[in-house]
Amino acid sequence: MILTRYLVYTILRYQLIIFIVLFLVFFSQKSIRIFGAVADGTIPKFLICVFFGLSLPEVIKLILPVSLFFGILITFNYLHTNHEIIAMYSCGLGYTFIVRGVLFLSVITTIFSMINVLFLSPLCLYYQNKIVFKYQFDFTSIRLFERKFHFVKNMNMMFFINGVYEKNFKDIFLIRVLSNGHSSVMVSDFGCIKKFFDGSQWFVLEFGNYYCWDRDIIHSNFYMSHFDKYNFLIGNQAHYYRCSNNSVAELSMLQLWRSSSIEAQVELHWRLTLVIIGFIMVMIIFPLSLMKLNHSYLLITFPSVVLYLIFFLLQIFLRANISKGSVSLIWIWIINVLYVFIAVILNFWDSALVRNIRWKVRLFFCNYDSD
């Protein structure tokens, strides 16, 4: 029991070190994207910390199985280098004892990865997109700052407010430019934004002037009129949310299961693959790490890392091409089953049954060559 705790503690220590290093690298990359979105005006400055927190599950998604993989690899190299693995064998602790500790940590990591990949990460991504949508399209739920230009991307519109008093505005300048050469400018003394039950948002302007410039190939016309009250449709919130909310990454597992679209099915199988890959790769790296007694460390590490890279490159390739319809969805599980088969072969390679089969096969070919 003491040696089991020591083995688990050693693997967990190196896993934590690898996890922190990879987390800092990926989180720095994510931070650059968030700050870039803030600079572009996609994310408000006061929500930076919220976005950092909501980005954590997405960052951890790939780091968790990778950290366990390299944690086991480094741990067994440490045990071989300091001859601690030989001491364990000398005490009568064999393969079953060692695999018990590794499996315990692998199951714990797989459970955390399952919670993160299947539930936590899609939920956080959903709230990220919801916050971005509200900031870009829902002007009634955010604070509009005075003496600052605000853009409405879907309407090719920009407006400036000189004074903000709760939900009422003063001295408003609004301009809208369309692709057909039609542009309009509105200046009003007072105004506000109203939202109705159907999701539509209206800019209500009071006591102002309307300027319109319309041109074609032959004519160029300019119009001006005065109004006491002018209602201007900014957009339909529900419509824009349906148009912008097309990411399958934020859908729950139940929604993915019920969806018939190929993108949803690919996302579903990708999440399941991320959950089981940690356990599969541990079962591959574990028997290879125990072969260090008779082989060099580089000779064992290289095929392990190559197998890991090949798996993820194949899965990423399949994920991209299945959505295009050029590859069948069954290939995702063909790769998964192939790696399970490799793990089974490596784990039972030195068992009594497999050694007996190998000896009989070798004896058969030796007798065949002698004949």
Q: Note whether 11 and 103 are same-domain residues.
A: yes
Q: Which tokens belong to 17?
A: 């070190």
Q: 61 in a domain, yes or no? A: yes
**Helices 121-137 & 48-81 angle (0-180, nearest 10):** 150
Same domain for 26 and 108? yes
CA 91 to chain centre: 45
**Which of residues 198, 217, 236 is at a domain's end?**
236
Whether residue 196 lies inside any domain: the answer is yes
Dihedrals φ, ψ of 44, to 5°? -70, 150
Please give the pLDDT value at position 164.
80
Across the beta sheet with 183-195, the strand order is: 148-152, 157-165, 168-177, 183-195, 200-215, 220-236
- Residues 19 and 130 reside in one and the same domain: yes
Domain end (from 175, 209, 236)? 236
> How far is residue 135 CA from its own chain's centroid?
22
Residue with tokens 């599969």: 280
242 inside domain: no
Q: Give the range of the structural domain holding residue 93, as residue numbers without chain letter.
A: 2-136+247-370
142 lies in some domain? no
Q: What are phi and psi of 210, to 5 degrees?
A: -120, 125
Domain count, the chain: 2
The confidence score (pLDDT) of residue 120 equals 92
Same domain, yes or no, for 265 and 170? no
Task: Tell me, yes or no, whether 124 and 153 share the same domain.
Answer: no
Same domain for 10 and 124, yes or no, is: yes
Rounded to the nearest 10 degrees, how much is the dihedral formed by the CA atoms of 112, 116, 117, 123?
Answer: 160
Domain for residue 289, yes or no? yes
Per-residue tokens: 272: 């399941």
pLDDT (0 to 100) of residue 279 = 84
Strands 148-152 and 168-177 turn out to be unpaired
Last residue of a domain, one of 189, 204, 236: 236
- What is the predicted pLDDT for the residue at 219? 66
C-beta separation of 178 from 154 below 8 A? no
Crossing angle of helices 48-81 and 2-40, rounded to 10°: 150
Q: Check residue 100 and give its pLDDT.
A: 79
List per-residue pLDDT tens for the chain, 371 residues long: 677 788 888 888 888 999 999 999 988 888 888 888 777 766 777 778 888 888 889 889 888 888 988 888 888 888 777 777 777 777 766 667 777 778 888 888 889 999 999 999 999 988 888 877 777 666 655 566 677 777 776 667 788 888 888 778 888 888 887 766 677 888 888 888 887 776 677 888 888 888 887 766 666 777 888 888 888 777 665 545 554 555 788 888 888 888 888 888 888 999 999 888 888 888 888 777 776 555 566 666 778 888 888 998 998 888 888 878 788 889 999 999 999 998 888 877 776 676 777 677 777 667 655 55
CA 40 → CA 35, 53, 150, distances in Å?
Answer: 9, 20, 12
141 falls within a domain = no
Q: Is 147 left (phi over 0), alpha (psi -120 to 50) or beta?
A: left
